Structure 1
Amino acid sequence: MIFTLDNRRLYAFQKAGVEVPYQKLDAVPKRQMFKFTTTNNGASINIR
């Protein structure tokens, strides 16, 4: 499964036609865990 920590930045790079820099991680950094509230692996979303 692939996740992004910053959807806005990902979208901007894609719209600009720029290669997206990335870093593969084995685990999500603890300081970023608040971004992952999914209960179904992202199959659906709730807008807050």
Structure 2
Amino acid sequence: MDFGYARTTAGNFRLVSRLMSQAERVLTLNDDIDRITAEVIDAARDALVIGTN
């Protein structure tokens, strides 16, 4: 499954770590979701400030 995190992070481990931490926060705020989905990754990505270069 491709959740888009590889495309979002371009292999940057620090960014992967930040994205997964944010995804965990999204899961914490939404008790009815019990696993990481594409929607969770999208919400986490939208919450991060990521440079364009």
* More helix per residue: 2
Q: Fold match, TM over 0.5? A: no
Greater C-alpha radius of gyration: 1
TM-score, normalization by structure 2: 0.27
Scaled by the length of structure 1, what TM-score is found? 0.29
Q: Higher RCO, 1 or 2 (CA under 8 Å, sep at least 6)?
A: 2
